[in-house]
Amino acid sequence: MRLIWDELRVAFPLIWHGNPYLMSIIGFTLEVAAIATAAAAVIGLPIGLALGLGRFRGRNVLRALANASLALPPVLVGAILFLLLTPQAPFGSLQLIWTRQAVIIAQTILALPFIVALSAAAIQALPPGLLSQARLLGASRWQLWRLALREARIGVIAAVIAGLGTALSEVAAVTILGGNIYGHDQTLASATFFEVDAAHYADAVAIAIVLIAMILILMCGLGVLQQQGGGIRMRFRSAT
């Protein structure tokens, strides 16, 4: 216990005094989380809507694949992307390996399955008669999608929260693709690993405290948003 207390006594001043290294990591972590989650939502929500509302052959197979992708090991994603982006690989000419852009790409891919699978499940759980009634009232496809998102908003926000949590806490893929280069492309999670590996325990504790605080603040904020009522009121043309 004394070791923990000693490290905490050194760690807290690093936070209070705004250590430049720590501040740069916080900034990059927020940037990665925001861009990756937004990109995953833009890509994943339409796919989730299609899987939840669509009536096409193979939908159940695609939903099963989406659910299975939730267990995709991040280290495997990192390894596959590394093989695709390494200089001798098909996408090596893009020169993305060991860059910040590669980290954002990896986090987007890791957040995507959560948004697709969980949003599709939330939409499929809507009362069957709700969407049928909207169709009878003359709702267009766009209005139907908006209605589904509004009525399933709690589950959809939960999907975004899960994607954001992945973007904040992932280490393996970030380390493989970004190289975990000191002060360059480290996130809070990967920097914690870096400092522990270097036996800089006070720095690791400081970074971990900030990461935990950030996760709690962001998740609580999204949780409040999730619990809010209301939504977009919609009117449909009467069917003729």
Residue 78 lies in a domain: yes
Residue 154 lies in a domain: yes
Would you state the pLDDT for residue 24? 92
The DSSP string of 116-179 is HHHHHHHHHTS-HHHHHHHHHTT--HHHHHHHHHHHTHHHHHHHHHHHHHHHHH--HHHHHHHT
Q: How many domains does the chain have?
A: 1
Q: At what angle do helices 100-124 and 153-169 cross, to 10 degrees?
A: 150
| CA distances in angstroms from 227 to 105, 126, 147, 154, 216, listed in the order given | 30, 17, 18, 7, 16
Residue 234 lies in a domain: no
Residue 198 near residue 190 (C-beta atoms within 8 A): no
Residue 222 lies in a domain: yes
Residue 237 lies in a domain: no
Would you state the pLDDT for residue 60? 87
Residue 235 lies in a domain: no
Would you state the pLDDT for residue 190? 93
Q: Token pair of 149, please?
A: 């998102």
Q: Which residue has the tokens 């393996």?
A: 172
Residue 139 lies in a domain: yes
Q: Which domain, by its residues, includes 75?
A: 2-227
| CA distances in angstroms from 198 to 39, 170, 191, listed in the order given | 33, 19, 10
Would you state the pLDDT for residue 134? 76
Where the chain has pLDDT below 50, the residues are 229-240
Would you state the pLDDT for residue 149? 86
Residue 131 near residue 53 (C-beta atoms within 8 A): yes
Would you state the pLDDT for residue 240? 41
CATH number at residue 194: 1.10.3720.10
Q: Is 18 left (phi over 0), alpha (psi -120 to 50) or beta?
A: left
Residue 240 lies in a domain: no
Would you state the pLDDT for residue 147? 85
pTM over 0.75: yes
